[in-house]
A and B are shown apart, each in its own frame.
Chain A
């Protein structure tokens, strides 16, 4: 039977396909017991339990759990429980195979396309998703790319029958690629676009019959401060320029990139601006810079007392390696708790979904996983995972191919 499934997968796996059923809604209450619980929002619980019902965490605590009737008990002895990792910046679902144009849906035509929002183009059957979630990355922020305003970001689960099922938040905020210091004209263009949108929205308030402008409409949540603006900004000029722009237009800024953030940490702190570090696995900006400059960026932001989170910096298909970027930052000065926070609770905060996600707390979504060791260490394996209490299938195409070719060689 297993072999039959394998062949089915292999034969039809030409392009994006996830051929296994999606996880059904949680029916029974689940209690994970005897495990080391890492709530992130609070201290680690050495021998503890987590209980969740109908997709929500109902109890977290130390010691043994008084089991009620109908609870599915999972013995987590020797295991660890973490909130699902959140990859805060990726194009997962918008691009299947980089080299094939037909599979690229992340860059709309035009310098400013705020009307484009990511969730609507995320392919729930992408082959990349099962691979990503099998390593504990259960939620991701998906960002359109290209131009000055690529569109709006969305926050998605890595499992769901449709993009609607997957979406945690369809509109997580406007994405603005802040121009480099030599492109003053673009800065002007951006300012103009925001002003036009604001004027349109005011007019529409007083005149509801005004024809809808989908492009200008898209500014509304960010102009009303209901959503942040994600400014892609790496250099000192970009960051300071974006912050000044945000202040002038009363926007809630998030800095995405943040390479030079330590140079203006005071300003970021004063304005309470969070930073989404896009990657630490990149080159230092100058040949004479410290070789570990990028590795130490997280430790520097942490020391400066800033709110920050960390993206994997990997290519889209390897978003599964997110925890290793966090671990790598620990080799260069970052506290381990901060590293975990950077890919869980802080990421949830930066994306605006921390009410439901990012930690193991009563009332939050049961989006969590069990692993057999420190999940920042590469050999550690994720053994079970839940999204909103739904037990996720951790199989993927790669594991199936592994089994198939073990069979070819008669390996066990």
Chain B
């Protein structure tokens, strides 16, 4: 129903010519473009042929004489090809398409696409004429990952929230059109592809320009990419301090961005280039850069004409200069395709000509003024007998000059002569005439301008994963190894074994115990003096989560999934590996009583597919939260209206949602899917573990009672700083409690937090772990365990379980990881000494029987990084493009939106600004 008025509007726009105000003009609509180099299609050029246009269509491209009656357009020295087609021209609500701006770049048609929101709307292909014609409606449905800035603006405020909105929309059968995902980076491209695959939908990617970072994975999706020609500005390396702060990844991105189009093309991806998402002034320059970086001109032409035409299903009408097609043609006043310095002279749209650049008089050369000397025009400057003009202007064919004297000369250019009048200093008028010396007579021979080299310096063609520092070309090999001689902390029944041995094979542990005698064939590594422990398990982490840790837009966000936004590029992963951490529980933040679904990851640094980090054996979980954060106590005075604002309301809301989930599970219409209730129903069915942020004893006990009433077992209480006050209740209701070792006093609800909490809960029988909730603290979890020894006297081996087997059991993977026992995953850390000692550091970290980190490999990587930094910084300092960028950037304190950098900053609980 809603679309009907729209259609009416469209009809008016497209067919409704205004009645002429005066006599009706008659357009003969018959034109001949004569003498240019005609690119009929990419790769097929007809030099000096004629393009005939009749009634808005291409009538012929031929070498034949021009038929009578056609208006002749002299195109000598020009290139002629199909006008470009922009497959993505985002338009904000209420705004109109900037047809003129796009025409200037050589475009003749564009997809008018809504630009805001998650489900943005259907896009239509229109001509870029002043009165646009609709070529095709409903070419695709535009989708995006937009998020609200603040919680009070509504849902979603996170990327995972946006993904949930898209998935729910697909369940709700929002559209049947192909989906076009507007992506901000390469990871979103892969996330888009996953959504499309899950729902078996055709899709295309409105790209980011960063696809080269995960090229192969993106190529493997098979989705076409509408690629913006945008390149990040050069990093500032022009001072001692800015050079210190520039990141290698930023440098590499700067260097590689111009290769994206070529790389995608080589990888077999269908690419269409778009002028969206960039400063249009840079379009021609950047296209030139892409060509300098190896993109073939024919391919570039295809990406601007035939590819988008095919992609949009309009290739019968647009894209080439074949007879019968629409006369959408671009004419450039240069004999070379894509000469970045020469603008387009005209664009034809449906046979109507739009002049873009009136031909300028060519003034360069030597002009003989007779008795008044000699004029020399060079690069837009004019001299008379060697003296520069004080001022001069060129307006159309008129030129005006003022020379010393003052002597004023005005004239009109006609080919190789200028004629006009002048005024002497004493006011005498005179007439003058200048003739240009024929080329060849001029003193200087014409040389090619040196400004742009036709080929860029070679750039590295492979860079491994993740893109940036510490990348690896392939995952480390799975090895068969015997570690002998170390003190082995098994975190299992065997306790601590001195002079022990651990053997791993095929990613599993095959022997743990005292050192055996004899050679077993496997490579033996002598680790005498070292300590081996299970890899550390962090039960509460926000590492490597793209686009927001919280979705604070609503009180219940059970439909969002941390696993949707895994960012394997975060350098925090690498740093945690360097601290013996192998598995982390990635949790949603604590902004809502019922938060999002968690993701347990193994730190497989260097995976190709971002989701390769997911630990598939882990049962699904979900974040709940209680207390100050969810009742928005510390959010500021604007946040006082969202339910709940009290701990009473928290309980009521949670119970209400579980009742809703019960009703949902009983529903008749099983085709109707509600992602939020789906997750809650899984909790009730015992298929999803709750990990609940909690502090005070009252709220902890409350959730224990809710769980009892609804008949499920809680996974863990997180933080659980007053857990020691109700340890007996926790023991019965939950798998365990995962606490901070010694944090307290940062909020009112943690005044009674005590470092003896872990020891007390353990003494009562609760399974206890210590976690980090911080990318920094995660780097010393072994020492957090030592605090259980200090406060409450937990035996050393038991204390170490707080960061190994106990969190593993809490996450439902105690049978796979967390202890060194036969048959378990070969996830282990090797330490320089006692892992509970401050003097100890991690020496190596293994996951799945692969050495993911070691002091040695780290040392090698440092050398590589230093060399790459040097090379790239030198390159930036040499680069003319970088120099231009630097000039533009000197606005001092004005922050620019850094779209090309994934944030490396530590992920933090956004609700409380770090105070959990």
Interface residues of A (CB under 8 A from B): 13-15, 96-100, 127-128, 181-183, 235-237, 260, 263, 281-288, 290-292, 315-318, 321, 324, 327-328, 330-332, 336, 376-381, 398-399, 401-402, 405-406, 408-409, 411
Instruction: List 6 A-B pairs, Cβ < 8 Å.
Output: A98-B746, A288-B470, A292-B841, A331-B840, A376-B838, A381-B790
Residues of chain B within 8 A of A100, CB atoms compared:
747-748
Q: Which of A236, A378, A398 contacts B786 (CB 8 A)?
A: A378
Per the 8 Å Cβ criterion, residues 561-600 of B in contact with A are 571, 574-575, 578
Task: Contact check, A409 vs B760: say whether CB atoms are below 8 A apart.
Answer: yes
Cβ-based interface call for B727 (8 A) = yes
Residues of chain A within 8 A of B783, CB atoms compared:
324, 328, 378
| Interface-centre pick from A235, A281, A291, A409 (highest chain B CB count, 10 A) | A291
Residues of chain A within 8 A of B837, CB atoms compared:
377
**Complexed CA–CA distance, A408 and B729 (Å):** 13
**Complexed CA–CA distance, A263 and B243 (Å):** 12
Closest 3 CB pairs of A and B: A327-B838, A288-B469, A317-B745
How many Å from the CB of A180 to the closest CB on chain B? 9
Residues of chain B within 8 A of A406, CB atoms compared:
760
**Complexed CA–CA distance, A321 and B740 (Å):** 14
Task: Contact check, B747 vs A398: say whether CB atoms are below 8 A apart.
Answer: no
Q: Which of A97, A281, A405 contacts B760 (CB 8 A)?
A: A405
**Complexed CA–CA distance, A408 and B746 (Å):** 26
Chain B, residues 757-777, CB within 8 Å of chain A (1/0): the string is 000100110000000000111
Q: Which of B746, B839, B904 contacts A317 (CB 8 A)?
A: B746
Task: Contact check, B915 vs A181: say whether CB atoms are below 8 A apart.
Answer: no
How many Å from the CB of B41 to the closest CB on chain A? 45
Task: Contact check, B787 vs A287: say whether CB atoms are below 8 A apart.
Answer: no
**Complexed CA–CA distance, A153 and B359 (Å):** 72
Cβ-based interface call for B912 (8 A) = yes
Interface residues of B (CB under 8 A from A): 240-242, 244-249, 468-470, 571, 574-575, 578, 628, 633-634, 724-725, 727-728, 742-748, 751-752, 754-756, 760, 763-764, 775-777, 779-780, 783, 786-787, 789-792, 832, 836-841, 858, 862, 865, 869, 892-893, 904-906, 912, 915
Residues of chain B within 8 A of A402, CB atoms compared:
754, 756, 760, 791-792
**Complexed CA–CA distance, A285 and B244 (Å):** 9
**Complexed CA–CA distance, A237 and B245 (Å):** 11
Task: Contact check, A321 vs B751: say whether CB atoms are below 8 A apart.
Answer: no
Residues of chain A within 8 A of B747, CB atoms compared:
97-100
Q: With A236-B241, A315-B746, A317-B745 known to touch, is A409 a contact of B839 (CB < 8 Å)?
A: no
Closest A residue to B572 by beta carbon equals A283
Q: With A97-B746, A283-B775, A331-B839 known to touch, is A13 a contact of B244 (CB < 8 Å)?
A: no
Describe A's contact surface by its main secondary structure: loop
Closest A residue to B570 by beta carbon equals A287
**Complexed CA–CA distance, A292 and B789 (Å):** 26
Residues of chain B within 8 A of A263, CB atoms compared:
240, 244
**Complexed CA–CA distance, A292 and B843 (Å):** 13
How many Å from the CB of A292 to the closest CB on chain B? 8
Describe B's contact surface by its main secondary structure: loop
Task: Contact check, B755 vs A398: say whether CB atoms are below 8 A apart.
Answer: yes
Q: With A99-B634, A328-B780, A405-B724 known to touch, is A377 a contact of B838 (CB < 8 Å)?
A: yes
Task: Contact check, A379 vs B776: say whether CB atoms are below 8 A apart.
Answer: no
Closest B residue to A334 by beta carbon equals B839
**Complexed CA–CA distance, A284 and B633 (Å):** 33
Q: A379-B786, A409-B764 are in contact. List 10 more A-B contacts (CB 8 A).
A: A15-B751, A98-B747, A127-B745, A128-B745, A183-B893, A285-B244, A315-B746, A318-B742, A399-B756, A409-B728
Residues of chain A within 8 A of B633, CB atoms compared:
99
**Complexed CA–CA distance, A262 and B246 (Å):** 18
Task: Contact check, B858 vs A378: say whether CB atoms are below 8 A apart.
Answer: no
Task: Contact check, A236 vs B862: say whether CB atoms are below 8 A apart.
Answer: no
Residues of chain A within 8 A of B742, CB atoms compared:
318, 321
**Complexed CA–CA distance, A405 and B753 (Å):** 12
Closest B residue to A401 by beta carbon equals B754
Residues of chain A within 8 A of B241, CB atoms compared:
181, 235-237, 260
Closest B residue to A13 by beta carbon equals B751
Q: Which of B245, B725, B744, B786 contacts A405 (CB 8 A)?
A: B725
Q: With A99-B748, A285-B245, A381-B790 known to touch, is A411 a contact of B575 (CB < 8 Å)?
A: no
**Complexed CA–CA distance, A318 and B747 (Å):** 14
**Complexed CA–CA distance, A336 and B839 (Å):** 9
**Complexed CA–CA distance, A148 and B862 (Å):** 37
How many Å from the CB of A91 to the closest CB on chain B? 12
**Complexed CA–CA distance, A287 and B248 (Å):** 8
Task: Contact check, A260 vs B244: say whether CB atoms are below 8 A apart.
Answer: yes
Residues of chain A within 8 A of B756, CB atoms compared:
398-399, 401-402
Task: Contact check, A318 vs B743: say whether CB atoms are below 8 A apart.
Answer: yes
Closest A residue to B727 by beta carbon equals A409
How many Å from the CB of B443 to the closest CB on chain A? 50
Residues of chain A within 8 A of B628, CB atoms compared:
99
**Complexed CA–CA distance, A324 and B755 (Å):** 15
How many Å from the CB of B748 to the closest CB on chain A? 6
Closest A residue to B775 by beta carbon equals A283
**Complexed CA–CA distance, A99 and B912 (Å):** 9
Q: With A283-B906, A379-B790 known to touch, is A98 a contact of B915 (CB < 8 Å)?
A: yes
Task: Contact check, A378 vs B725: say whether CB atoms are below 8 A apart.
Answer: no
Q: With A99-B912, A99-B915, A406-B760 known to touch, is A331 a contact of B858 (CB < 8 Å)?
A: no
Task: Contact check, A97 vs B754: say whether CB atoms are below 8 A apart.
Answer: no
Q: Which of A284, A291, A321 contacts B858 (CB 8 A)?
A: A291
How many Å from the CB of A198 to the closest CB on chain B? 29
Task: Contact check, B862 vs A398: say whether CB atoms are below 8 A apart.
Answer: no
Task: Contact check, A97 vs B748: say whether CB atoms are below 8 A apart.
Answer: yes
How many Å from the CB of B753 to the closest CB on chain A? 8
Residues of chain A within 8 A of B779, CB atoms compared:
291
Task: Contact check, A401 vs B752: say whether CB atoms are below 8 A apart.
Answer: yes
**Complexed CA–CA distance, A376 and B783 (Å):** 12
Closest B residue to A101 by beta carbon equals B634
Residues of chain B within 8 A of A183, CB atoms compared:
893
Residues of chain B within 8 A of A327, CB atoms compared:
838-839
Closest B residue to A404 by beta carbon equals B725
Q: With A97-B748, A288-B469 known to touch, is A379 a contact of B245 (CB < 8 Å)?
A: no
Task: Contact check, B839 vs A330: say whether CB atoms are below 8 A apart.
Answer: yes
Closest B residue to A264 by beta carbon equals B240
How many Å from the CB of A66 to the closest CB on chain B? 37
How many Å from the CB of A126 to the closest CB on chain B? 9
Task: Contact check, B763 vs A287: say whether CB atoms are below 8 A apart.
Answer: no
How many Å from the CB of A296 to the closest CB on chain B? 11
Q: With A286-B248, A288-B248 known to touch, is A317 a contact of B744 (CB < 8 Å)?
A: yes
Residues of chain A within 8 A of B468, CB atoms compared:
287-288
Task: Contact check, A331 vs B912: say whether CB atoms are below 8 A apart.
Answer: no
Residues of chain A within 8 A of B246, CB atoms compared:
286
Residues of chain B within 8 A of A379, CB atoms compared:
786, 789-790, 836
Q: With A317-B744, A378-B787, A401-B752 known to touch, is A236 a contact of B244 (CB < 8 Å)?
A: yes
Closest B residue to A126 by beta carbon equals B745
Residues of chain B within 8 A of A401, CB atoms compared:
724, 752, 754, 756
How many Å from the CB of B728 to the closest CB on chain A? 7
How many Å from the CB of B567 to the closest CB on chain A? 12
| Interface-centre pick from B744, B763, B915 (highest chain A CB count, 10 A) | B744
Residues of chain B within 8 A of A318, CB atoms compared:
742-744
**Complexed CA–CA distance, A235 and B763 (Å):** 48
Residues of chain B within 8 A of A321, CB atoms compared:
742
**Complexed CA–CA distance, A317 and B775 (Å):** 20
**Complexed CA–CA distance, A77 and B154 (Å):** 65
How many Å from the CB of B529 to the closest CB on chain A? 15
How many Å from the CB of B453 to the closest CB on chain A? 29
